[in-house]
Amino acid sequence: MSNSITQLLDAMQWRYATKIFDAGKKIPADVWSALEKTLVLTPTSYGMQPYQFLVVQDPAKRAALLPHSWGQKQVVDCSHYVVFTARTEIKEADVTRWISRICAVRGIPAESLNFYREMMLKDVVNGPRGKVAHEWAARQCYIALGDLMTAAALLGVDACPMEGLVPSEYDKILNLDGTDYRTVVALALGYRAEGDKYASLAKVRYEASELIKVV
């Protein structure tokens, strides 16, 4: 196998849902910058990025989140704690803003994207998916979550995805009530503590033949 393939598979084998973080070990600034860029570069439906990522570094806010996170200490002990929030609805103004961004970056006239604009309006604003816009946006969050976890593993950063939380309480603490965003999931990142017994356990997965079918 090539070095890049070996590196990828080794990283996937090495990573696990870290239960105990070394609270004194922080992610270096350059590594964190690369991980942030991974979030920005994550693909989304229509490219619209219907989410925001809240990096919760305030110790008081983390402490407030802890009892609404099933008491999981990763919230307060990890180096960086990212809360993934998704849009509650998609409005025509959001489509207009996205079209403007495309035009600015690519140097093209807005008129050239009229078909694309109408397609988005008919789908995620006025169409069936518009009625479940938050669920649609939440699925985009999980794409970003997967990308960030993979990037972290490749850079030797530990992570633990966390659905064991109360979104409504997170929304209150993070001042999301009254905004266009709601909490979906979170990810704790940092470096494993030496005493985390789960780090040395064999990874348990079904065989590829059971999970992957060629049709």
Contact 122, 160 (CB under 8 A): no
| Degrees to nearest 5, angle at CA 8 with 78 and 18 | 25
Containing domain of residue 98, as a range? 3-211
Tokens in use for 25? 């070990």
pLDDT of residue 79: 98
Task: Annotate 183-211 with b (16+ C-beta within 10 A) or e (fewer).
Answer: bbbbbbbbbbbeebeeeeeeeeeeeeeee
pLDDT, mean of residues 112-139: 97
CA distance 187 to 126: 32
1: confidence class by pLDDT, cuts 50, 70, 90? low
Share of residues in the chain with pLDDT > 90 (%): 99
State the CB neighbour count (10 A cutoff) for residue 4: 8
pLDDT, tens digit, for every residue of 57-76? 999 999 999 999 999 999 99
CATH of the domain at 204: 3.40.109.10
CA distance 44 to 143: 8
Tokens in use for 7? 């590196």
Among 16, 21, 18, which Cα is nearest to 193's? 21
CA distance 192 to 33: 20
Q: Coil, helix or strand for 126?
A: coil
pLDDT, tens digit, for every residue of 199-208? 999 999 999 9
List the beta bridge partners of residue 185. 84
All residues at 6 or more sequence positions from 182 whose CB lies less than 8 Å from its CB, including other chains: 85, 86, 88, 134, 167, 171, 176
Domain count, the chain: 1
pLDDT of residue 64: 98
Strands 80-87 and 158-162: unpaired
pLDDT of residue 2: 78
pLDDT, mean of residues 31-55: 98
How far from 101 is each of 48, 95, 107, 110, 134, CA to CA, in Å?
10, 10, 10, 10, 22
pLDDT, averaged across the chain: 97
pLDDT, mean of residues 185-198: 97
CA distance 120 to 136: 13
